[in-house]
Structure 1
Amino acid sequence: MTVGLGSEGPDEGAAWTILSAWRRQSALDGWRFPGDWQAPETALVVAALTCSMPLNESATLLGAARAQQGVGIAESIADYQALFSCLGYAVDCESLQSLAAGWVEANETCTPLSCVDPVTGLATAGHFQAMLQHAVMNEACPSCDYLQGEIVFPSADAGYRPGWALLAELGQIYAEELPPGAVVELTHGAEARFLLPSTPNNLAKLQSCHARVQSLRPELLGPAQLSYHPLRGTDNQDNDAPAGT
């Protein structure tokens, strides 16, 4: 079905305005991770809308993309309905059915997503990046400040790659030493990237974690090097937390 704004061609300014309004409305309606909302398929839906083109095809593609992201069908439908809500339109039921059909078809074939690396027990690279985006955008907790940093070994620069047992041991240390609010990704080269709320207690835990990692197999890994700095998000540009090593 065609639902449009009466434009004869694409209007980039109007498209960005609609995308922003849609994203805000979706967050208000319960979208859980604002940093993961934007996708190429959302722009396709808005482009069809601004050009008064049928929405069915772009809605099908969006439904498939949401399934591949690991978004549930209820949340995908609520997100699509938010588009019409922010514009003051009645929901286009035909394209909504297309979105649901795209989600179902993709969900039958896509591999389930996981946030946990099976070797280290810590965050996957994709999950860490998503959580970093959330913190940068400061939408999950506008009043929160974060520390971002890494613990690296010189052996990684030399090309050494530890076995799975050593990676699992490192993963256990990070899980035990860092607070529940921390997100840690441990690469298979033993480089750890972390993100955690900036508090004196968490900084003390970070230093304790570093000391424990330092003592693990130094003959293989070498001295662990810790560095961190305040994460500069959209709403915490005045964060004065010190960087450190």
Structure 2
Amino acid sequence: MKSRWRTASMAAGWAFPADWPIAAVDDVCAAMLDEADPGDALVRLGRARAEAGAGLGETVLDLAALHAVLTEASHMVSPNVDALPSRMLRMTALGWADVVTKQAGDCTAENPLTGLATAAYLRTRLGEVYRETPVASLDYALVLLRLDVHRASGWSRVVAMTLVSDALRTVFDGGETLATLGPCVAAVLVRRDELLTRRVSNLRVLTADRLADDPDVRPSGPAKVWVEQLPATHDEARALLISLGR
């Protein structure tokens, strides 16, 4: 199993082969072969991957390689992240997030948990936009996404925000500024164009799909997604960001 898992992960694009074989991999394999509950082993795997510097996307793709090996008899398998069982994904993500959250004290322009820019960076970016064009409120807009975290609990809230952050990056992949405004709010600074309405609709659908896959994060949805017009001045825009993040 370990050999097939490694082969599948390497084929899927694992960046550093020498970093792949770790003790947590053996723990997961042992749990799977013994038909024991793999939850704790998957949490340790997520932690170990984060400590080694693997991103969440790379960690999840490696997990998908394991799932493909477990479910397909063929020696050559094709990892499919969307086919991952929700509990398998959740336990690994929790372990990964546990480590990354502890590292969050480092100064950075990026939220280490979601991979989105911080609210401070978005404020800086807005300042550049308002200096760049006198009609920023007409040329740009904010796409907002808010989760109802009051109906979720504990780590489920964190996992839900991580899932919708992935949806945001999938829909807005053209260099837009994506940022978190608060524990349950994300924003995208976008140029207004003829595709904006369609992209917002795609975000609603993709976010709903991400949250529906996991019963523990499903109460956080459906996510509210809308377009917010920018005010006339940068000072008003800064005040808007503060109010939206509450």
Q: What TM-score comes out, normalization by structure 1 length?
A: 0.42
- Quick check: which one's helix share is greater? 2
